[in-house]
Structure 1
Amino acid sequence: MADNYNDEVINRLREYLRIPSVHPDVDYHDCVEFFKSQAKSLDLPIEVYEFAPKKPVVIITWKGLEPDLPAILLNSHMDVVPVFEDHWTHPPFDAVLTNDGWLYARGSQDMKSVGMIHLEAVRRLKDAGVILKRTVHVSFVPDEEIGGDLGMNLFTLSEEFKNLNIGFALDESCPSIDDTLLAFHGERTCRQIKVTCLGNPGHGSLLFDNTAGEKLYYMIDKFMKFREAERKKLKSILETGGVTTVNLTMIEGGVQVNVLPEKLSVSFDVRIAPDVDHDEFDNMIQSWCNEAGEGVSFEYYIKNPQIKCTCIDENAVFFTALKDSLDKMGIKLNCLICPGTTDARYIRKQGIPAINLTPMTNTPLLIHAHDERIHVDRYREGIDIMEKMLTAIANV
């Protein structure tokens, strides 16, 4: 156990995990200073950009033998979600390492450990005197946990990003609970919808026609029947990314219990599967509105564009190299559609192939959960895996 406490690799991770870069109102200063010290110890150049105030993007660059070739991007985010400290066995920002090798900390799975795995793989290769063919950029970005609009989104739209000449990127997935690594090659499209129903107002004791309540009921029934049909397609939670999810999240309206309202509304969180025609989906909702009656309409809180998934067939040279490296290690890979959203969507939006992969197996899935933790043995194995994957993709 003393080896764990004295291990520089583990202690660098613990130092990063102790920085409380937690929402809301994240202060990224200590993260930036930490990575400046890491870049100095690696003798690598570092750039810090702010495309929005107090939203730094950190880039550590390892130049390759053929720097004109499209580069590799290893991306992670610095921010973490809030904690309910009373429910934790150990303080979530103390990075407590127990005698049996478990490291408790917010961000230990999502995703500070992955960012450090990226950096430790570079460190190990560089210390061994290896020089890869392609340049490798290790990026640390803000605000992924609140959508990334002022982080990766602005970064990918910048000239600074274009000048990096990225050819392929890796980002986060989630730890695997067994021996098979989980990878995501695409995401569903997030769309948040508000349906508004107008109707005849009046006294609550009467049975008027054309009421807002009747129309609201019709619309909710349509959405929930669609939801049930999609739910029946599921055999496991991991397949959620392959179906369209619909969840009712808000109902609004009414002025008094005995008054028929002039207007009622209902809101849904919708994630559209990649194989669904998004225009046809919109037309389906519009047809429901037409069927419900006069004065029924829908609008979007959020209408994200459809983003093409990353190709994973035999013509995808970077993915093929990644997969081959895992095959040589005897590691299985399950490539799916991500059930949530990550910063990789902004990279894919620029036409750059990106794979989400967290190289840790046999780990309980505790992303955003109480007592988030990883085992140091799985972390070390993750560095081994990343070292070999990075060597393969950067030498394509």
Structure 2
Amino acid sequence: MADARALEEVVEFTRDLVRFDTTNRGGGDGNEREAAEYAAEKLAEAGLEPVILEKAPNRSNVVARLEGTDPEAPALLVHGHLDVVPAAAADWSVDPFSGEVDADGMLWGRGTIDMKGMDAMMLAAVREWAREGVRPRRSIVFAFTADEEAEAEYGSGYLAEAHAGLFEGCTEGISESGGFTFHSGGMRLYPIAAGERGTAWLELTARGRAGHGSKANPDNAVSKLAGAIARIGAHEWPLRVTPVVEAAVAELAALHGVEPDYADLRGLQEAAQLVESTLRNSANPTVLEAGYKVNVIPEHARAEVDGRVVPGGEAEFEATMDELCGPDVAWRYAHRERPLTAPVDSPTFAAMRAAIQRFDPEGHPVPFCMSGGTDAKQFSRLGIAGYGFSPLALPPEFGYGKLAHGVDERVPVEGLRFGLRVLEDFLRNA
């Protein structure tokens, strides 16, 4: 069990990591170097031999391996990203990179939830083991990555492509977006991710005949594109229930005392939020670009669409986009990552359940599928099955999904300490 020093260090490390401005603005604009050096230093002090790896200057990743006691056991990857999404200081109650702890025991700052708190737990657990002379049963590879908040080109994608040997023997991995408290129907649920919808970011283009805005022009690129975007926005995607979502709905329905009903999730109360976005494919128009003057019909029009695809839904997604765009609008993948699924009946999933229930006996761990994605997509190229498990205790008034990427992101200090206890217990016993 996490000792007193580890429980203090997890708070200290979270504060320190928040104070490194690792904002990822996309397009290669980011700098994780100082945070990576910090993590590497803490790992080295615990007796590990971390390496810092970069595809481009200052886009830094850290990888270190801790050998387990059972050489026959498959290795486990534990990964967390160091970059964060932008934070507009004028919108925040505090400096988003202050790492301030207030009188109510809240630790404030960009990344406290997504996901420097988990990074701190990883460091604190390793250091506790070093003090106690503990080695886990399974060998563990710890990875602190860059660029997760963009396309992972400089982070997990680079590591999986250029440094696959560092992950030799890893069959499973854990990372963000699971194991946090979710309150529903007076119960404390702990959703553990065993799947992710695939990423399908699209670029749509239409070409027409340029001309004067006062003249009749049936070959208008803007009109063509607007029609396709309207069809995409209005499309009702059919139900596609994957095994992970089926397991999630079954457990949530049983806990809420109702029968599973995919067409009407109201019986799941607040917990409907955990599954409603993963029952089908989706495509949301997000960007429109066309024209440069009100009286000029442009030759080109462009749009971007955020598509997400359930496991097994790729063919349906592509056929539907062909139909909705029609002959006058072309579409292509601007960025694409595969959907993921991992077994919910594995010993690893059972160990995650057990670790949560050991520290919250009245809590209910449940499987779910993420609507978005994580670095697990890139590591899946190495045959690593990914789970979302970054445990965190949150009070009823908190919402994990609202605070991650949101204004005034913050985390309860005691929630971090709970997370460390659960994570350390799982890693020791997995």
Q: TM-score, normalised by structure 2?
A: 0.78
Q: Is 1:14 equivalent to 2:15 in the alignment?
A: yes
Match of 2:151 among 147, 156, 162: 147
Residues 182, 394 of structure 2: 8 Å contact kept: yes
CA pair 360-221 structure 1, distance change in 2 beyond 3 A? same
The 1:352–1:207 alpha-carbon spacing in structure 2 relative to 1, beyond 3 Å, is same
Specify which of 321, 328, 331 is matched with residue 285 of structure 1. 321
Number of residues of Structure 1 aligned to a counterpart in Structure 2 = 382
Flag structure 1 segments of 5+ consecutive residues without an equivalent. Answer: none
8 Å CA contact retained: 2:10, 2:420: no
CA distance in 2, matches of 1:65, 1:147: 36
Change (3 A) 1:234 1:76: farther
- Displacement, 1:117? 1.1
Q: Which amino acid in 2 is paired with 1:11?
A: E
Cα distance in 2, alignment partners of residues 217 and 23 from structure 1: 31
Partner of residue 204, structure 2: 195
The structure-2 alpha-carbon separation of the partners of 1:344 and 1:377, relative to structure 1 and needing over 3 Å to count, comes to same
Check 1:58–1:262 CA distance in 2 against 1; reply closer, same or farther (3 A cut): closer
Q: 1:82-101 counterparts in 2 under 5 A?
A: 82-101=86-105
Q: Give the Cα separation in 1 of the matches to 2:58 and 2:169.
A: 25
Return 5+ residue gaps in structure 2 as ranges. Answer: 240-261, 266-271
Select which of 171, 177, 181 maps to 1:176.
181
Alpha-carbon shift at residue 171 of structure 1 (Å): 0.6
**Offset at residue 389 of structure 1 (A):** 1.3
Distance 1:250 1:105, change over 3 A: closer
Secondary structure of the structure 1 residue equivalent to 2:235: helix
Structure 2 counterpart SS, 1:304: strand
**1:344–1:354 CA contact under 8 A, matched in 2:** yes
Of 161-170 and 203-212, deviating more is 203-212
1:310 equivalenced with 2:342 (yes/no): yes
Question: Are positions 1:353 and 2:385 aligned together?
Answer: yes
In 2 relative to 1, CA 249–90 (structure 1 residues): closer, same or farther, beyond 3 Å? closer
Question: 2 CA distance for matches of 1:322 and 1:352?
Answer: 17
Which region of structure 1 is more displaced relative to structure 2, 296-305 or 376-385? 296-305
Aligned equivalents of 1:88 and 1:327: distance in 2? 35
Q: Secondary structure at the match of 1:194?
A: strand
1:252 aligns with 2:284: no
Query: 1:206: Cα distance to partner?
Result: 6.2
Among candidates 332, 347, 350, match of residue 300 of structure 1: 332
**Could you tell me how far 1:164 is from its partner in structure 2?**
3.5
* 1:145 counterpart SS class: coil
Q: 2:137 aligns with which of 121, 133, 136?
A: 133
1:14 partner letter:
R
Distance (whole Å) between structure 2 residues aligned to residue 199 and residue 60 of structure 1: 54
CA distance 1:223–1:233, change in 2 (3 Å) = farther
Taking structure 1 as the reference length, the TM-score comes to 0.84
Deviation of the 1:328 alpha carbon: 4.4
Aligned pairs for 1:375-386 within 5 A: 375-386=412-423
Could you tell me which amino acid in structure 2 is paired with residue 376 of structure 1? V
How has the CA–CA distance of structure 1 residues 152 and 129 changed in structure 2, closer, same or farther, with 3 Å as cutoff?
same
Q: How far has the Cα of 1:40 moved from its partner? A: 3.5
Superposed CA deviations along residues 295-338 of structure 1, whole A, max 9, x for unmatched, are x13222425143441222x3x23223323433444232232221
Work out whether residues 202 and 305 of structure 2, in 8 Å CA contact, stay in contact via their aligned partners in 1: yes
The 8 Å contact of residues 193 and 298 in structure 1, kept in 2 or not, is answered as: no
Partner SS, residue 360 of structure 1: coil
Q: Aligned in 2, Cα 1:198/1:317: closer, same or farther, shift over 3 Å?
A: same
Distance in structure 2 (CA, Å) of the matches to 1:49 and 1:152: 11
Identity %: 25
Q: Is the 8 A contact 2:87 2:407 kept in 1?
A: yes
Q: Is the 1:170–1:355 contact (alpha carbons within 8 Å) kept by the matching residues of 2?
A: yes
Q: Map residues 40-79 of structure 1 onto 2, 5 A cutoff.
A: 40-67=44-71, 69-79=73-83
1:223 and 2:232 matched: yes
Code of the aligned partner of 1:176: T
Say which one has the larger Rg: 1
- The answer (yes or no) to whether the contact 1:62–1:136 under 8 Å persists in 2 is yes
